[in-house]
Every structure is written in C-alpha cells, then in structure tokens.
Amino acid sequence: MNRFQPLLAAVLAAATFVAAAEPAPLTLEKALQIAAQRPPEMLLAATRGLPLRLMASPSTTGIAAADAARLELMARFFEVILTDMDAVASGERMSVAYGHWDRLKARDPESAETLRANLLYRDLLSRRNAAQMNQRLARSGLALAMGQAGKLSPELVEPEFPANDPGSAPDILQPAAPSRGTSAAASMLDHAHTAAMLELDWLLRSERPRARARIDLAGRLLDDAREQLAAGGPSDLGNAMAATVEAKRDELSVEFAIQLARAKLAALTRARK
C-alpha cells in the first residue's frame, strides 16, 4: 500500500448525493454487466447530447454500437471518480481559505488583506459547490449510460490497472495493415486507427511520466508539511493535502485516458477487419 491509498480511499467514499443507489460500491465490471443487458443503441441515445465535463468524449465513428456504448460507459464511470476527487480537493482548499479569512477578520474586518481573503474564500466556496454539482451530473450521466436513469451510485471502486503495464510502447507505431475495401468509410477507419495509435503513444510516453512526476512532488511537499507541523513550525498542511489529491486525480485522469484509448483502438481494429 502506498502513502496515497488512505487518502484516496477517503476521496472515493466522498460522494454523498445519492438516490435509489446501488446497494454496494459499484465496480467498472459490474457497470458494464448491467449495461450489457440493454440494447447499445438505446444506451447511446440516452446520453447523446449530454457532455462529459472532465473526460474527453470518445469518438465512436465507424465502430460497432456495442463498442461505442462500452466506451461511453467507461468514460462516464471514470468521470464520476474524477468529480469525487475534485470535490474533496476543492473542499480542502476552501476550508484552508476560510480559516485564514476568519483569523484576519477577528483582527481587522475592514482591512484590504481581510477583504482579499474573503474574496478568495468565496471564490473557492463557489468552486467547491460547482464540484459538488458536477458529482450529481456525472452520476446522472453514468446512470443513463447503464440504462438505469435515476439510480445514482454512492461509491465507485477505482479500477485496478496491471502492475506490469509498460511505460512506453515502442512498437505501437508499427504500420498497420490497411482495412479491407477502398470506400471513404474504410479510409476514415484507417485514419481513426492511426490517430488512436498516436494518442496512445503520446499518453504512454509523455503524459504518464509527467503525471507521475507531479505525484512525486506532491508527496514530498506533503511529507515536508507534516514534518513542519510535528516540529511546531508553520505548516500549510491543508493545501499540501489538497495538492496531493489533485496530483492523484491528474494521474488517474491519464490512466483512464490510456484505458479508453486502448479500448478504442481495439474497437477500431475489429471494425477494420
């Protein structure tokens, strides 16, 4: 267990806006099983025009409806986890800002410094409330993608990714055999397949190392803040904790994008045969 696991467990248990909820924490596999019981065309119609806020909407042109519905559900499942982390991080930063404003207000409620602190607190409060709104909307979108409108899951289980997942893909850009046929649709599929390979290569080679470097820095700063607090010195522990959640959220966002890119590439490969 790494040092982020207890913090992450608290984050993923933070979704409190529920209605007719699943009786147990929802896994990605369970969500896909539920959705598989319904026609994929119906699921796609239910979420058409409903934008994703934190995940890039997967392009599903040219692939089978079942694959498209699966990609849509994966993106919405991942988005719920990210909104939960955003709500926790924004709440932590709001609390720190409120404490600072409250201390200044007790000394001089009319000073420019106090008024600036009040503005910062109000800004972060608005962001926290927006994050909580996004929690509701993301859960509603996931419920639609599962064919269970109105059944919002209180807690989602973070998917586990293979521990031996390579950090790069040296063979990913090997030329692929062209799809069968010479139609415009076949050419479009070839282009989409190449684009998906390029996206996955960028995520693996560039985005994953960047996100992990951010995790390393956030962990170091959190440890430093805890040591300063234990020594009785000034410590910005609250903001350090928020930065740790934000860094973990960034890392998960990249990992989720990698899983979506791989699923999309597999779908496009099937479509080109």
Residue 176, by phi and psi: left (phi above 0), alpha (psi -120 to 50) or beta?
beta
Q: Do 79 and 141 form a contact (C-beta atoms < 8 A)?
A: yes
Question: pLDDT 10s digit of each residue in the chain, 273 long?
Answer: 455 555 555 445 544 444 444 457 899 999 999 999 999 999 999 999 898 988 888 878 789 999 999 999 999 999 999 999 999 999 999 999 999 999 999 999 999 999 999 999 999 999 999 999 999 999 999 999 999 988 877 789 999 877 656 655 545 555 556 655 567 878 888 888 899 999 999 999 999 999 999 999 999 999 999 999 999 988 899 999 999 999 999 999 999 999 999 999 999 998 887
Residue 57 placed within a domain:
yes
Is residue 77 one of the residues assigned to a domain?
yes
Q: Report residue 183 as tokens.
A: 């139609």
The verdict on residue 54 lying in a domain is yes
pLDDT for 175 equals: 55
4 DSSP 8-state letter: T
Residue 167 lies in a domain: no
Range of the domain at 207: 5-159+181-272
**Structural domain total, the chain:** 1
Q: Quick check: is 166 in a domain?
A: no
What is the pLDDT at residue 59?
Answer: 79
Is 204 domain-assigned?
yes
Q: What is the C-alpha to C-alpha distance for residues 156 and 164, in angstroms, rounded to an integer?
A: 24
CB–CB of 210/220 below 8 Å? Answer: no
Instruction: Report d(CA 247, CA 232) in Å as an integer.
Output: 27
Classify residue 172: in a domain, yes or no.
no
Distance of CA 204 to the CA centre of its chain: 17
Three-state SS for 139-202 is HHHHHHHHCCCCCECCCECCCCCCCCCCCCCCCCCCCCCCCCCCCHHHHHHHHHHHHHHHHHHH
48 within a domain of the structure (yes/no): yes
Q: What pLDDT does 174 receive?
A: 56
Residue 45: the pLDDT is: 94
Q: What's the pLDDT score for residue 22?
A: 44
Taking residue 2's Cβ as centre, other Cβ atoms within 10 Å add up to: 9
CB 174 within 8 A of CB 186: no
pLDDT score for 229: 92
Return the pLDDT at 213. 97
